[in-house]
Amino acid sequence: LLPLDASDPFNHSTAQATAAIESAAKKVTLKNGLTVLITKNTAAPLVTFNLYTVGGLLDEIEGNNGIGNAMMQLLSRGTETRTHEQIAQFLDETATSLAPESGNNSFGLSAQCLKQNAPAAFELFADVALHPKFSPEELERLRPQLLAAIQQSTEDWFEEAYKNAKEEYYKDSPYKLLPVGKTDVVAKLTV
């Protein structure tokens, strides 16, 4: 199935020419130093926003392991102007996805929406990124999910082996930790 007015993907000359044009990313550096990369792909009528910043496990130690993941998961649970319910309702009504992440080297926030919802989705994306509320009530609602994720992180043999290999290989590095954190830390976190 192709979007209306899409070029024939089996016409190789058209497909190759379109791919070459669309794959070229445009790099823009804003006055505040923020780097913005823009690229276009007309294969589907979707728009994606991604924001990355230095963080993740690089900013964690044994005593606060899991704080980055908790912070990122709490981002989309309310802003200064939107409740968690309002955010969830917008995402449901517009088929928009919003995904926070705390990784090894970075914090990330991604959103994907239909093209016609892009202005409103970007407004929400920016609000979540710039004005999170970090409500104590939302942390208490989220905490059981955070603790369950920690428990599930080593439920199968592959994940258990991965955790053990990280601990052995990265003995003197924050990379030895798992981004989901430690139960004793997450159980006591406050905003």
Question: Closest Cα to residue 59, out of 102, 91, 21?
Answer: 102
pLDDT of residue 143: 98
Residue-wise pLDDT tens digits, 105-135:
999 999 999 999 999 999 999 999 999 999 9
Do 98 and 111 contact (CB within 8 A), yes or no?
yes
Q: Which residues contact 43 (CB under 8 A, 6 or more apart)?
A: 3, 6
Structure pTM? 0.80
**Proportion of the chain above pLDDT 90, given as a percent:** 75
114-120 contacts, C-beta under 8 A, 24 or more apart: 114/45, 114/46, 114/47, 115/45, 115/46, 115/47, 116/45, 117/47, 118/47, 120/90, 120/94
Residues of the chain with pLDDT under 50: none
Q: How far apart are CA 108 and CA 126, in angstroms?
A: 13
**Helix count (H) and strand count (E) of the chain?**
7, 5
- Amino acid at residue number 21: I
DSSP state for residue 102 in the 8-state scheme? E
Q: Which residues contact 39 (CB under 8 A, 6 or more apart)?
A: 22, 23, 24, 25, 26
pLDDT of residue 154: 87
